[in-house]
Structure 1
Amino acid sequence: MGVNSITLVGRAGRDPEVRYFESGSVVANLTLAVNRRSRDDEPDWFNLEIWGKQAQVAADYVRKGALVGIIGSFKLDRWTDRASGEERTKPVIRVDRLELLGSKRDAEGGGGMGGGFGGGSPSEEEVPF
Structure 2
Amino acid sequence: MTLNKVHLVGRAGRDPEVKYFESGSVVCKFTVAINRVTSNRDEPPDWFDLEAWGKTAEIASNYVKKGSLVGVVGSLKFDRWNDRSTGEERQKSVILIDRLELLGSRKDNEAASNSSYDDDF
The alignment's TM-score, normalised by the length of structure 2, stands at 0.88
Partner of 1:87: 89
Write the mapping of 1:1-129 to structure 2, written as runs, cut at 5 A: 1-38=1-38, 39-111=41-113
Percent identity, aligned pairs only?
A: 62
CA distance in 1, matches of 2:22, 2:104: 33
TM superposition shift of 1:110: 3.2
> 2:26·2:54 contact (CA, 8 Å) conserved in 1?
yes
CA distance in 1, matches of 2:72, 2:88: 32
Q: Which has the larger radius of gyration?
A: 2
> 2:6·2:75 contact (CA, 8 Å) conserved in 1?
yes
2:17 maps to amino acid: E
CA distance in 1, matches of 2:100, 2:106: 17
> 2:65·2:109 contact (CA, 8 Å) conserved in 1?
no
2:85 maps to amino acid: A
Residue-pair matches, total: 112
CA distance in 1, matches of 2:111, 2:6: 29
User: Once superposed, what is the RMSD of the aligned Cα atoms?
Assistant: 1.3
Give unmatched runs, 5+ long, in structure 2. 115-121
- Structure 1 consecutive aligned stretches of length 4 or more whose deviation exceeds 6 Å: none
CA distance in 2, matches of 1:85, 1:108: 44
Give unmatched runs, 5+ long, in structure 1. 113-129
Greater relative CO, 1 or 2 (CA 8 Å, sep 6+)? 2
Name the SS for the 1:46 alignment partner: strand
